[in-house]
Amino acid sequence: MKILLITAEEWNDYVYGNGVLTNWFTDFDAEFAQIYTSPGLPNNRVCHKYFQIDERQMVKSLYSSCKAGRKVEIPTNTEQGTTKSNAQRQGIYGLFKKLSMWMHTPVVMLQDLIWVTGRYDKKTLRLFIEEFKPDVVFCPQLGNPKMWRLERLIKGMTSAPFVVFTGDDEASYQQISYSPLFWLRRWYCHRSLKNNIGIFSHYFMHSVEQAQYYTCKYGIPTSTLYKCGDFSTDFVSKPVGKPIRLVYAGRLYCNRWKTLAEIGKALHEINKNGERMILDIYTQEAMTEEQRKALCSENSVYMKGSVNPKQLKDVYCNADIALHVESMDKKNRLATRVSFSTKIIDLMTSSCAILAVCWNRHCGYQYLHNNDAAFCVDDYNNILSMLQRIVDNSTLVQKYARKAYECGLKNHTREKIQKQIRDKFEEVIAHAKR
């Protein structure tokens, strides 16, 4: 089977967010090629053919005879080390990233304009696709005008069926913003998605609710798809620490830090007569003064800085409960509603119990709650009672650590997830040949 990937990011295992491709396709019996739209270089052990189109090329195509798109040579062993720093990108891409932190929607709309008006090197792109001869095209993405235009273009160059994956709310109106530009772009995305739906044979997504909505509204077959986990070893119960150690590893954005601060307030109450439960936070983000005051040792919250993936495994081995948190404010609740953190599957393999503090319509919360795989809290007012319950009966930690592992073993082994992907690809390929 030959699989052509269309992605926004290069397949680089050292760039944030790309690990899911390696997670899905390690030891997957297929040949891969990738077309991507960022300036970095690839770095992985699975794919060996690449075609790059980036913002600099697109901008240049607007004022010169140069067109966007080039075949990328595989970096040599001596060059591989330099690709590990691609997360810190320079040039136009880096400039847009920095500007978007201050005026997000105008910058994103400018990028949209560049990508929908820039000129592709269609001849070189077509040659790349024809030489590879894909059996199926797979598009893991956050849908946007850039990707939708590229998908339509490639659809005209191959008869292979398209399968799409999204883990985000691409175009619905269930958002909050007071910016007219935000809603103008949202309307454009909504319309563009409708125009592209016809070229897709199947839509994977994280959220059951979103999958049902897409099937009902667009008439397209959908199903949920999650990350694989390593469940190759048997679950071994470990003693609960004294004090009980909670761990959060990740970003503080989208007001996640406020949820962590509420946990800290509950810990302050629990620990009035002695430290019975603590929270360690591992993050590489710089903190504001407000965040420092809220996430402080007085509330039994300890900031630990950043750790690499190998170190994080050791952190979880020495912890009792791993946290999955999202913001509870309305704007961020809606923004993250259909997002399923890939870390949830990692937490199932961590040997820890999981505590999820999220809106009850968040798809990650619903999944954990429906599978009874975590302690679940959907209201700040209930955090204290949940933590008190755990402190008073610490055997619950061991019980839910096992439940989390068993859920992962049942639903998220590499064999099960890869079989799901392969079966779907073979189904759409067979249907396309009829």
| Per-residue pLDDT at 17 | 47
pLDDT tier, 235 (very low <50, low <70, confident <90, very high otherwise): very high
pLDDT tens, residue by residue, 131-149: 999 999 999 988 899 999 9
Per-residue pLDDT, averaged over 324-337, amounts to: 91
Please state which of the ranges 84-93, 328-337, 373-382 shows the lowest mean pLDDT. 84-93
Domains of the chain: 2-228+414-432 (3.40.50.2000), 244-411 (3.40.50.2000)
Distance, C-alpha 212 to centroid of its chain: 20
pLDDT tens, residue by residue, 262-312: 999 999 999 999 999 999 999 988 889 999 999 998 889 999 988 888 899
End-to-end CA distance of the chain: 18
Q: What contacts 161, CB < 8 A, 6 or more positions away?
A: 136, 137, 201, 428, 429, 431, 432
Distance CA 112, CA 147 (A): 10
| Per-residue pLDDT at 14 | 77
Distance CA 268, CA 274 (A): 10
With a cut of 80, say whether residue 91 has pLDDT above it: no
Helix (H, G, I), strand (E, B) or coil at 346: helix
| Per-residue pLDDT at 143 | 84
**Which has the closest alpha carbon to 422: 209, 219, 221, 204?**
204
Cβ-based burial of 170 (10 A; exposed 0-12, middle 13-18, buried ≥19): buried
| Per-residue pLDDT at 80 | 53
pLDDT tier, 98 (very low <50, low <70, confident <90, very high otherwise): low
Tokens of residue 19, six digits:
């690990």
| Per-residue pLDDT at 18 | 45
Altogether, the residues listed in the chain come to a count of: 434
The verdict on whether omega for the bond into residue 243 sits within 30 degrees of 0, i.e. cis, is: yes
pTM listed for this prediction: 0.89
With a cut of 80, say whether residue 85 has pLDDT above it: no
Distance CA 110, CA 114 (A): 6
With a cut of 70, say whether residue 261 has pLDDT above it: yes
Please state which of the ranges 101-105, 140-144, 246-250, 307-311 shows the lowest mean pLDDT. 101-105
Distance CA 160, CA 344 (A): 33
| Per-residue pLDDT at 122 | 97
Output the average pLDDT for the chain.
91
pLDDT tens, residue by residue, 66-81: 999 999 987 655 455 5
Per-residue pLDDT, averaged over 406-412, amounts to: 96
Side-chain-side CA neighbours of residue 189 (13 Å): 20
Amino acid present at 61: S
Whether 300 contacts 275, CB under 8 Å: yes
Distance CA 387, CA 247 (A): 14
